[in-house]
């Protein structure tokens, strides 16, 4: 069933959105959704720049020069994230700079530019693992179990919350985004590529981690709904189907006509499955099933 998309008249007249990470997996989908609804979109790209006149080259790991940004915007969607979060500890400053420090600078700029809403893309990894589906009120990770990426995202969430008296603030926690053009180092394409190359998929239990991955286009639709309704709060964003890593390897193996090599190590069953009731209460629902979009995960999709 197709998700009901916001119509243009649900948005403020001539709404102007500043989008960070606008040429990334999610940002690319979101730009198309917002333009389809006749919103004006200005998007930030990395320091190497872009030829698109709607883009602004800016290094978010460094202090932001507000002079480069539009004098007025109605909303900011902060999708950008550091590319160096796996490079620990060498990439720690870059990770915190993009995921946390730029967030507070963009929040301050949002107020100065007359914005009324700020949407921050966090991550489902802020939660502790749970045997039941996660809700937005479930506990988040403590210093004893957190990594630099998750810590920087959780820090960003707290910074966004501190501006809640000045802006409508929405925090989106996506669970295992996938889609065409995604970096091959991310979980879903990484599993696909391991099967293609004959590398083993290592499971920490009988079936491995249980998850409900979400297509980037569904996340873009969710953000559009939040903007259309000036929504505030914390929102899980996940796909319609729960699948284990063992099942995922099987599905990818069938698609590639290759038998996946699976190794099992001792360990307890793990789960990072989310409930999305908060977003669904606003009229959104995920409708792209991973098993029907494997072509979006294959290389060169």
* Predicted local confidence at residue 1, as pLDDT: 32
* Predicted local confidence at residue 12, as pLDDT: 60
* Predicted local confidence at residue 47, as pLDDT: 78
Phi first, then psi, for residue 120 (nearest 5°) are -115, 125
DSSP symbol at 157 = H
Task: Give the separation between CA 235 and CA 257, rounded to whole angstroms.
Answer: 37
Beta sheet of 243-244, edge-to-edge order: 243-244, 210-211, 271-272
Task: Give the separation between CA 210 and CA 175, rounded to whole angstroms.
Answer: 11
* Predicted local confidence at residue 10, as pLDDT: 64
What sign for the dihedral angle of Cα 8, 12, 14, 20? Answer: negative
Task: Give the separation between CA 76 and CA 120, rounded to whole angstroms.
Answer: 8
| pLDDT tens sequence for the chain (301 residues) | 333 444 434 666 679 999 999 989 999 999 999 999 999 999 998 877 677 888 898 999 999 887 789 999 999 999 999 888 888 999 999 999 999 999 999 999 999 999 999 999 999 999 988 889 999 999 999 988 899 999 999 999 999 999 999 999 999 999 999 999 999 999 999 999 999 999 999 998 889 999 999 999 999 999 999 999 999 999 999 999 999 999 999 999 999 999 999 998 887 778 999 999 999 999 999 999 999 999 999 997 5
Helix-, strand-, coil-residue percentages of the chain, each rounded to 5: 35, 20, 50
Q: Where are the domains of the chain?
A: 15-182+215-239+273-288
* Predicted local confidence at residue 168, as pLDDT: 97
* Predicted local confidence at residue 131, as pLDDT: 85
CB 79 within 8 A of CB 122: no
Rg (CA), the chain: 19
* Predicted local confidence at residue 144, as pLDDT: 86
Task: Give the separation between CA 243 and CA 152, rounded to whole angstroms.
Answer: 28
Q: How far is CA 65 from the centre of its chain?
A: 25
Using alpha carbons only, what angle is made at residue 261 by residues 259 and 267, rounded to the nearest 5 degrees?
A: 135
Could you give the C-alpha distances from 207 to 31, 38, 47, 201, 293, in angstroms and in order? 37, 45, 42, 11, 22
Task: Give the separation between CA 256 and CA 83, rounded to whole angstroms.
Answer: 29
| Record: fold of 15-182+215-239+273-288 | Rossmann fold (3.40.50)
* Predicted local confidence at residue 86, as pLDDT: 85
- Decide: helix, strand or coil at residue 259: coil
* Predicted local confidence at residue 9, as pLDDT: 42
CB 52 within 8 A of CB 111: no
């Amino acid at each position: 069933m197709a998700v009901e998309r916001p119509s243009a008249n649900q948005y403020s007249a001539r709404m102007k959105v500043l989008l960070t990470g606008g040429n990334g997996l999610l940002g690319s989908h979101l730009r198309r959704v917002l333009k389809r609804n006749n919103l004006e979109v200005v998007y930030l790209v990395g320091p190497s720049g872009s030829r698109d006149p709607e883009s602004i080259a800016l290094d978010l790991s460094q202090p932001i020069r507000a002079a480069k940004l539009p004098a007025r915007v109605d909303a900011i969607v902060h999708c950008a994230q550091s590319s160096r979060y796996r490079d620990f500890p060498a990439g720690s400053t870059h990770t915190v700079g993009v995921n946390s420090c730029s967030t507070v600078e963009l929040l301050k700029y949002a107020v100065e530019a007359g914005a009324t809403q700020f949407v921050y893309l966090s991550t489902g990894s802020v939660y502790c693992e749970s045997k039941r589906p996660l809700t937005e009120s479930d506990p988040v990770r403590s210093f004893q179990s957190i990594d630099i990426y998750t810590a920087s995202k959780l820090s960003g969430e707290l910074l966004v919350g501190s501006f809640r008296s000045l802006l409508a603030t929405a925090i989106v926690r996506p669970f295992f985004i996938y889609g065409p053009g995604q970096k091959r180092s991310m979980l879903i394409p990484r599993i696909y590529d391991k099967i293609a190359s004959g590398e083993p998929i290592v499971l920490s239990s009988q079936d491995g981690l249980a998850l409900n991955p979400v297509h980037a286009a569904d996340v873009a639709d969710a953000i559009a709904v939040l903007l259309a309704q000036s929504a505030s709060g914390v929102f899980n964003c996940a796909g319609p189907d729960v699948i284990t890593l063992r099942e995922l390897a099987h599905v990818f193996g069938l698609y590639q006509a290759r038998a996946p090599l699976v190794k099992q190590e001792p360990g307890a069953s793990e789960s990072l499955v989310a409930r999305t009731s908060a977003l669904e209460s606003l009229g959104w629902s995920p409708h792209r099933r991973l098993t029907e979009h494997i072509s979006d995960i294959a290389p060169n999709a």
